[in-house]
Structure 1
Amino acid sequence: MIAALAVADFRERSRRPAYAVVLLAAVALGVLALPAADSHWQIFQLGDYRGRYSSVYAGTVTALAGAVWLSLAGFYVVKSAVALDVDTGVGQILAATPLRRAPYLAGKFAGNLAVLASMTAALAGTALIMQLWRGEDRHVGPLALLAPFVLITLPALALTAAAAVLFETVPGLRSGTGNIVWLFLWMTGSIGLQSGGGLDVFGMGHVITSMRADVGDRRPFDFGVGLVERDTPLKVFSWSGSYVDAGFLAQRLVLLAIAVALAVLGALWFHRFDPARAMPGRRAAERPTEPTTRWELPAHRPATPARLAPAGFRLVRTSLGVLLAGVSKWWWAGALTLNLIAAVAPAMLLLCWVWPVLLWSRLGIQDIDVLAAYPRRRTRLVATWLAGVLLTALAGAVPLIRQVSTGDTRDAAAWLAGALFIPALALLLGSLTRSPRPFQVIYLLWWYAILNGGDPINFMAAAGPNPALVAAVALTLVLLTATWQELKHSRR
């Protein structure tokens, strides 16, 4: 039964567009992992050095890069296995079988791991092609090339597959909150784990120790996985690939055991598709209730100057109501607290404009049932975007007031451009994918880069790009969204 669940889950996931996107990104990562000899860029950082492109070096470097990248992107590909069974009704059929909770979750874990393993196989093929293409060492050692993917990448991805199952069963982590929690866990964990301290999840510590010994340079130098630029071409050394020992193998087995335990641990919270124990939010959504607020769409009448403004205003108000549906008072309390702190600390705008990320990710998705009845698609699109702009303005109102009161026109202009850009990006990604996850991941990674000193991409401050350029990009994104919707409508 576990094998049948895993195979069915793999077949369903491998047909999704998100699978193809992440798979292509993994292949591109494999190409970047082995740059040209005269390149100043590198994925695997080892100071001013890189190994000769032998099978063991090509396989190990690509496996390390894949472990780091797929542990993030792969999580969002596989984190919907249980929810899909709930939405499609398959779970109710499974509930009528003798299949118990732990074996069901084990099957979902195996399916998640199979999806991630197929991406790992694509990385391994890319490493082989790149080794032959670069031509520094055309002798192919199959075991030396493939072993890093089995020993380094797969155990790390097993933790990712297990975390996806666990997040789908623990209350509070099933929704977009879990997506954000995993992103922050990945960002903090990938930095800490690359130091090789404690349990070496990525195997980085053992690999670095072996490479240091073969380089012979005792001076301290940077190491890790991440795209960086060097001023001079890298020095080449020959690496023996001697990083596997009894301690390393024991750690990989421990990682697999932890992954299985995490996946099965979800059985403590898993409702096994019992409607009486299902997700409270889902039960509330399925239970017919009287609406507490009545949203009225403007009637489709000939557009006259007297009617255009009120109709547009009502549509924006309706769009904002849909966007803010279900927002609790605690969310508003958090937004107010951040704004009050920003009154004395201008840099807090960065925190003010990460707080509504789950609400922004609804743009282009949540208006399917309520606003789709309005006949003018372009007007509806603009109203949805303006509702997002209003939400952004509310979330960062105090920093703007402070900038205007102090006469800081450049930062105020950057604030206005950012308020236009964020919902435009969310609207485009939501319309293209019909999923909140792409925006959540892309925006939070962007935000994290700004937090770590990424001034060239900081659209929230005057130190970043020209506000006029940011505003123009925002309008372009809205136009692209409108074009996409028109193309989609023309196919019907």
Structure 2
Amino acid sequence: MKYIYSIIKADYLQRTRSYSFLITLAITIYAAYSFVPPPTASYTTLNVVGYKGIYNSAWVGHVSAMMTTIMLSLYGFFLINGGIKKDVDTGIGQIIATTPITNFGYLLSKFLSNFLVLLTISALTFLISIVMFFVRTSGSPFIIGDFILPFLFFAIPALFTVSALAIVAEVFLGRKLILQYIIFFFLFGALMANVVGHKSSTVNTFIDTFGVNTMTNSVKDKVNTQYHEHIDAVNLGFTFSAKHRFKTFEWDGISWTGIFIASRLMWICIAFGLVYFSSFSFHRFDFKQAAGKKKKALAPANISHTNGTFAAGINVSLLPPVVTDYSIFPFVKTELLLLIRKGPKWFWLVNGGLWISMVFVKLDIAYAYLLPILLFLQVTRWSELATKEVTNRLHYFTWSSYKPLQRMLPSQLLAAFTMAVALALPVILRSAAAGNIYSVFNIINGAAFLVLLAASLGIVSGGKKLFEILFFFITYLITQKIPLTDYLGALPHDSPIGFISIMLMLNVFLGAVSFSVRSWQVRHL
């Protein structure tokens, strides 16, 4: 038990003291603030068409808990994923393998550490939801149970499940990060699609991982009963719409049944079961590979001998002449090759399939869905754009080279931008052929934004986690047609020129951050 506690403590402290965790925490604070929008806001987080719930304890507590559960489950996987990989990379895993701790004990400690990290963020949103109740409401009584119970029954089982999935992904998929992300993306979408809008039943209650169906059905039943309506759908999430009058209703929360509580316990047990069964396939940091037989190198026949021995020294005249070249184009070529060769070769078949699909499907589908997904599939390439030198401890050499700010960083940005534009080429050419110049400029501008965002977040945070979390979140919201995250300009905007101007200013800002922070690092690290 002492080994498990020590690993949990060390892993939790290491994660929570990182820049990526602190920045994620800051983003979560803002998100928790936005979960309870002001009455004059142009968006809602729980939308019943034509109706609006009164901000009482039940409404604020349940909506905050549900939004926290969904959003934290969505990006929490990226935050906690990689705990085992870090032990492999640092060599700590080999030390742990020599201790008496069992495979299940080690995976259990990582699983609980994952859960505690997510629980810390959830606890913060819990406190903010209470603050927002007093900020947004007036006259409604404060009932603490309306805040504790939703977080207990919604967030806790979901966070256990996501923590277990992160362990399963690392055990069975190892270093195949992009495959882990893709599988989780589709699994999350399948879980949400399987419950949203379904009628209440015992089976639906048990398969509803996040408790979404139970809550939305309760709200829907309240509106239908009070106003004699036949509403079938309740939209949970950030829904932007024009301002108009709403009919109000007072919702008293969910009636917690024994079946619902049993379903929450079932998901917690499933999480522990996934970790237990993963322990049978855990490698325990044993990466021995069969050593191939090396053939003895034979001396070339044309090497001269002197008195039966090899000629001493090297004939400098036979070496190619040294040519000084201070341009960045060799660096651009090298960085582009590093981007292309990263990851398994077979994955380019997937990229090629999507790229060809964008040539034949409808332009609006290719623009709004396939292109963002194709760019997201390169997340592991973008995320290490400006961090791989530090990760591999090569920054001592690269940052001391000739003009690193004028040559190294621009070459990385140019290579990534070239690759992004090449991936978007079918949509760019089809938009140009259709005479939509705004779309062409928006895609190019969006490609620059993506590259600069990856570079700036990597340089500031010192790692790739923050960008991976944010990029996944942005891509998911794009597929849900949220205009705020539309960096490619695929959705209609009130002012095309205004949108282009905002993106240009964002790109200038991100570029300034990247170069200024990297300049400080070069001079002080």
TM above 0.5, one fold? yes
Report the equivalent of 2:35: 33
Kept in 1: contact 2:60–2:133 (CA 8 A): yes
Deviation at 1:410, TM superposition (A): 5.0
Moved more, 160-169 or 176-185: 176-185
The one-letter code sitting in structure 1 at the alignment partner of 2:154 is: I
Matches within 5 A, 1:3-82: 3-82=5-84
Report the equivalent of 2:386: 364
Secondary structure of 2:131's partner? helix
Secondary structure of 1:276's partner? coil
Partner Cα separation in structure 1 for residue 73 and residue 198 of structure 2 = 17
Deviation at 1:384, TM superposition (A): 0.9
Report the equivalent of 2:318: none
Kept in 2: contact 1:39–1:233 (CA 8 A): no
Name the CA shift for 1:269/1:229 in 2 (closer, same or farther; >3 Å): same
Q: Tell me, yes or no, if structure 1 residue 459 matches structure 2 residue 467.
A: no
Matches within 5 A, 1:80-99: 80-99=82-101
Name the CA shift for 1:396/1:250 in 2 (closer, same or farther; >3 Å): same
Report the equivalent of 1:270: 282
The one-letter code sitting in structure 2 at the alignment partner of 1:374 is: S
Matches within 5 A, 1:220-369: 220=231, 222-230=233-241, 231-232=243-244, 234-276=246-288, 311-345=327-361, 347=363, 348=366, 350-351=370-371, 352-368=374-390, 369=394
Matches within 5 A, 1:194-233: 194-195=196-197, 198=204, 199-215=207-223, 216-217=226-227, 218-220=229-231, 222-230=233-241, 231-232=243-244
Moved more, 176-185 or 78-87: 176-185
- CA deviations 1:229-282 (Å, max 9, x no partner) are 3523544433333420111111111111111112222213311122328xx9xx
Name the CA shift for 1:30/1:415 in 2 (closer, same or farther; >3 Å): closer
Question: Relative contact order (C-alpha < 8 Å, sep 6+): which is higher?
Answer: 2
Secondary structure of 1:149's partner? helix
Partner Cα separation in structure 1 for residue 139 and residue 173 of structure 2 = 52
Report the equivalent of 2:422: 394
Moved more, 449-458 or 78-87: 449-458
Partner Cα separation in structure 1 for residue 64 and residue 377 of structure 2 = 35
Deviation at 1:332, TM superposition (A): 3.8
Kept in 2: contact 1:44–1:65 (CA 8 A): no
Partner Cα separation in structure 2 for residue 152 and residue 468 of structure 1 = 40
Report the equivalent of 1:481: 514
User: In terms of Rg, which structure is larger?
Assistant: 2
Kept in 2: contact 1:196–1:203 (CA 8 A): no
Partner Cα separation in structure 1 for residue 215 and residue 432 of structure 2 = 53
- CA deviations 1:383-423 (Å, max 9, x no partner) are 11111122224334455555667776555444443443332
Deviation at 1:223, TM superposition (A): 1.7
The one-letter code sitting in structure 2 at the alignment partner of 1:127 is: S
Name the CA shift for 1:375/1:273 in 2 (closer, same or farther; >3 Å): same
Report the equivalent of 2:295: none
The one-letter code sitting in structure 1 at the alignment partner of 2:463 is: S
Let me know the Cα RMSD of the aligned residues.
3.3
Question: Which of 424, 439, 443 pairs up with 2:471?
Answer: 443
TM-score normalised over the length of structure 1 = 0.82
The one-letter code sitting in structure 1 at the alignment partner of 2:466 is: P
Kept in 2: contact 1:300–1:374 (CA 8 A): no
Partner Cα separation in structure 2 for residue 342 and residue 36 of structure 1 = 40
Kept in 1: contact 2:198–2:213 (CA 8 A): yes
Partner Cα separation in structure 1 for residue 105 and residue 193 of structure 2 = 34
Partner Cα separation in structure 2 for residue 257 and residue 429 of structure 1 = 37
Secondary structure of 2:341's partner? coil
Secondary structure of 1:170's partner? helix
Report the equivalent of 1:295: none
Q: Tell me, which stretches of 5 or more residues in structure 2 are unaligned?
A: 292-321
Kept in 2: contact 1:155–1:255 (CA 8 A): yes
Moved more, 224-233 or 259-268: 224-233
Question: Which of 120, 123, 143 pairs up with 2:122?
Answer: 120
Partner Cα separation in structure 2 for residue 414 and residue 185 of structure 1 = 31
The one-letter code sitting in structure 2 at the alignment partner of 1:486 is: S
Deviation at 1:180, TM superposition (A): 3.8
Name the CA shift for 1:318/1:372 in 2 (closer, same or farther; >3 Å): farther
Q: How many pairs align?
A: 466
Moved more, 105-114 or 445-454: 445-454
Name the CA shift for 1:318/1:267 in 2 (closer, same or farther; >3 Å): same
Name the CA shift for 1:124/1:335 in 2 (closer, same or farther; >3 Å): closer
The one-letter code sitting in structure 2 at the alignment partner of 1:266 is: S
The one-letter code sitting in structure 1 at the alignment partner of 2:213 is: G
Report the equivalent of 2:305: none
Question: Which of 393, 401, 409 pairs up with 1:374?
Answer: 401
Moved more, 409-418 or 463-472: 463-472
Partner Cα separation in structure 2 for residue 454 and residue 204 of structure 1 = 20
The one-letter code sitting in structure 2 at the alignment partner of 1:359 is: R
Partner Cα separation in structure 1 for residue 252 and residue 92 of structure 2 = 51
Name the CA shift for 1:165/1:485 in 2 (closer, same or farther; >3 Å): same
The one-letter code sitting in structure 1 at the alignment partner of 2:143 is: G
Secondary structure of 1:480's partner? helix
Kept in 1: contact 2:82–2:170 (CA 8 A): yes
Secondary structure of 2:230's partner? coil
Partner Cα separation in structure 1 for residue 481 and residue 110 of structure 2 = 39
- CA deviations 1:323-377 (Å, max 9, x no partner) are 2334554344444444444444463464454443332222112244385453212
Moved more, 222-231 or 255-264: 222-231
Kept in 2: contact 1:37–1:233 (CA 8 A): no
Matches within 5 A, 1:123-134: 123-134=125-136
Deviation at 1:211, TM superposition (A): 3.0
Kept in 2: contact 1:193–1:202 (CA 8 A): no
Partner Cα separation in structure 1 for residue 123 and residue 215 of structure 2 = 21
Partner Cα separation in structure 2 for residue 53 and residue 410 of structure 1 = 42
- Tell me the percent identity: 23
Partner Cα separation in structure 2 for residue 407 and residue 37 of structure 1 = 41
Partner Cα separation in structure 1 for residue 80 and residue 423 of structure 2 = 32
Kept in 2: contact 1:113–1:158 (CA 8 A): yes
Partner Cα separation in structure 2 for residue 401 and residue 238 of structure 1 = 52
Name the CA shift for 1:375/1:404 in 2 (closer, same or farther; >3 Å): same
Name the CA shift for 1:358/1:235 in 2 (closer, same or farther; >3 Å): same
Name the CA shift for 1:234/1:450 in 2 (closer, same or farther; >3 Å): same
Moved more, 113-122 or 368-377: 368-377
The one-letter code sitting in structure 1 at the alignment partner of 2:404 is: R
